[in-house]
Amino acid sequence: MYKRSQTGSEESDAFGMPEQTPDMPAAAPPQPVAPPPAAAPPQPVAPPPAEAPPQPVAPPPAEAPPQPPAAVPPQSVLTVTVPAGAQPGQQIQIKAPDGRIIAVNIPAGMQPGSQFQVKV
């Protein structure tokens, strides 16, 4: 190894490090560097709350069948007498036996006093 002399009380080695002499205190040995504390293990993370399952959509209510008129009386055949002054094609009103007022047209070829039948 190469040594060079210096004018001071210290001598250094080839790398510029001072050599120890008996009158110099011994350098403390290098302290081991403690590794950084280990990271805490990952904590389990709860999954995000699941979305509520989609509620089944109720199909639109089926259209109700048309309701027949309330208390439809059974059909009957009425005989109508053409009133005086009425003409064929004219509309007249008659009263059914159950109290309903019904509009009917006088058929072609009918004259006052003649009769025709109407289903009600």
Cβ–Cβ < 8 Å for 88, 120: no
- Which residues have C-beta within 8 Å of that of residue 33, sequence separation ≥ 6? none
Average pLDDT for residues 106-115, to the nearest whole number?
A: 93
pLDDT at 68: 65
pLDDT at 108: 93
pLDDT tens, 2-16? 666 655 555 555 565
Q: Is the pTM of this model over 0.85?
A: no
CA distance 104 to 118: 8
pLDDT tens, 16-61? 555 555 555 555 666 666 666 666 677 777 677 666 666 777 666 6
pLDDT tens, 97-107? 888 899 999 99
Residues forming a β-bridge with 8 = none
CA distance 75 to 79: 13
Strand, helix or coil for residue 93: strand
